Structures are given as structure tokens and as C-alpha cells.
Amino acid sequence: MLNFKSVALVLLLVSPSLWAAKIVVHDRMMDHGGGHLMDMGGAMVMGQNIDRVPDGCGTISGTKEITVRAGHKHAKRFPGRMFAFDQQEFNFEPCTKLTVNFINEDKIRHQFMIHGLPRYLYAKGMFHLEVTGPGQVTGTLILPPAKKTYLVHCDIAQHMEKGMKGQMKVGGGDIDLPSIPGVTPYVVQDSYKRTVPLYVPPVDPSVAAKKKNAPYFTVSMIAGLVIGLILLVALASYLKGKQITEIFAALFGYTVALGSKGFNFLKSIFVRLFDKTKKLSFKK
């Protein structure tokens, strides 16, 4: 006989692996030259540099490899944020050869971008990883020798503003960038308190006075109520003693008759208009 508790425990343990979205590894991208790689599955690398040493470095000081995850769940640590990386600050020595494994855990597109790199080596001063999730893409760059702090972010519209940003310090960095979630204070702090009173549209005093002095019951309202009561009494007396089927049959008959009369009325108007138009056309 099966032990149902054991079966439930096994299902509980294996269910996360069954429910988790499968990460697609994009490792067969086409090289378009100039450090630009991409495939048809939504992955892209721009600014890859695996062997050209930046001016002032002489040689590569060391090699590092990191894995950065991106997704909505990583923003739960930061109130008011929607997206985030799993880490917001990176520290490396100058002239480090850095390989970044970028994993997008969401079912949308995310990016890992570094700005401010030397333009003679990196097109538009940028290193760029991009993948439509869930997926993983890997790229490599060689960091410059200068002591500097670089912006790391996702450039998809509103993703950085909603929290997907960080900073990379080379040689200890030169500054701290503002509004890095969990690292530096926000320039514009979120506030969930109402600071602006609710808008109340102005009311014309004369209109308000007319509404205030207007009678609750108007002549048309009283006439409508009287006609409605008369019709209700007449209908009740007509249907008195009838079976439910007879009532529905009578209502259906009235509906059909009314619809037929309406149709015939519209038809007669249309025929008259058509005849007049025809006669006028013959006169011309």
C-alpha cells in the first residue's frame, strides 16, 4: 500500500524543477565582426573584446568570470521597483579580462549594458548583452586601466527607471552613482502619501441653486408613473388566470406583431421615398 505522505513529499520536492522556466543557453551565435554576435533566438552581444588590450594596460592583470541574473523577482528587495539584477555593485581591478554570464529569468527581454568605456576600443563606449528570456548569453571584455565607476543597466524602456541598474567600480571607482537600488540613495524618493488634494471641479452657483430648488417630482415624471400604472393594471387583468405558457405565448405574439408593424411602417416609408426619388430622376 502506498504511503501518501511520502508521495506528497516527493511531488513537493520535484515540483519546483517542473514548474521553473527552462533557461535557453545561446552559445551558437553568428559572429558579425567588430565584437557583434547574435542569433535568431533573441540573443545579442555587442562590444565583445577577448584579446585587444586597452591602452595603458600593457598586459591583462587577471581573468574573472561572473554570473548576473535579471528578473522581476530580484526587485522584491526594493520597495517600488519592478525589475532588478541579483547584484547591484561589481568591483574589479584595472585591466581585468571579464567574462559575464547574463541570465534573464523573465519571459521578456532584458539587457546588461556597461557605458562609458573607451570608444576607440568599444563602439559607442558600450558593452552590451541582451537576451529574450528565459535565456542566457555570455560575453567578454577587457576593462580599462583608469580608476572609474561605470553605469550598468538595462536599456529597455523604463526597465532602468524601475530598478534594473547597478554600478561597476574599476580600481575602486571614482564616484558612487545615484539611485542604485540598495547601494546609494534615490535622487527622487518614492512616496505613497497623498501630497496633492483631490481635484474638485468648480460649480456654477446659479446651476447649483437651480438644482437645489428643483422639485423632486416633475410633471413628466408623474405622467409617466400614471401611464405605467394604468398599463400594469390592464396587463394584470388580461393575464389573470392564464397559465405561464399562455403568458409567454401572448408576450411572444405581441412582440412579433409589434415587430411586424414596425417593419411594415419602415418599409412603407422606404417605398415612398424610393418612388419620389424615381419620379424626380425621370423628370430630369
pLDDT tens readout for residues 96-138: 999 999 999 999 999 999 999 999 999 989 999 999 989 999 9
Residue 196 is predicted with a pLDDT of 67
Residue 250 is predicted with a pLDDT of 79
- Mean pLDDT, rounded, for 245-256: 82
Q: What is the mean pLDDT of the chain?
A: 86
Region of poorest pLDDT, from 12-16, 141-145, 181-185, 193-197: 12-16
- Mean pLDDT, rounded, for 179-188: 92
The alpha carbon of 277 is separated from its chain's Cα centroid by a whole number of angstroms, namely 56
pLDDT at residue 253 above 70? yes
Residue 9 is predicted with a pLDDT of 47
Residue 52 is predicted with a pLDDT of 95
The domains found in the chain, sorted by start residue, are 21-170 (2.60.40.420), 216-260 (no CATH)
C-alpha cell at 165: 541598474
pLDDT at residue 2 above 80? no
Residue 20 is predicted with a pLDDT of 57
pLDDT at residue 7 above 60? no
pLDDT tens readout for residues 139-159: 999 999 999 999 999 999 999
Residue 133 is predicted with a pLDDT of 85
Residue 217 is predicted with a pLDDT of 72
Winning range, highest mean pLDDT, from 8-12, 19-23, 232-236: 232-236
Residue 183 is predicted with a pLDDT of 95
Cα(59)–Cα(124) distance, integer angstroms: 24
Between residues 239 and 166, which one has the greater pLDDT? 166
**Percent of the chain whose predicted confidence (pLDDT) is above 70:** 88
- Mean pLDDT, rounded, for 34-59: 95
pLDDT at residue 37 above 60? yes
Residue 43: φ, ψ to 5°: -115, 145
Question: In which band, very low, low, confident or very high, does the pLDDT at 192 lie, cut at 50, 70 and 90?
Answer: low
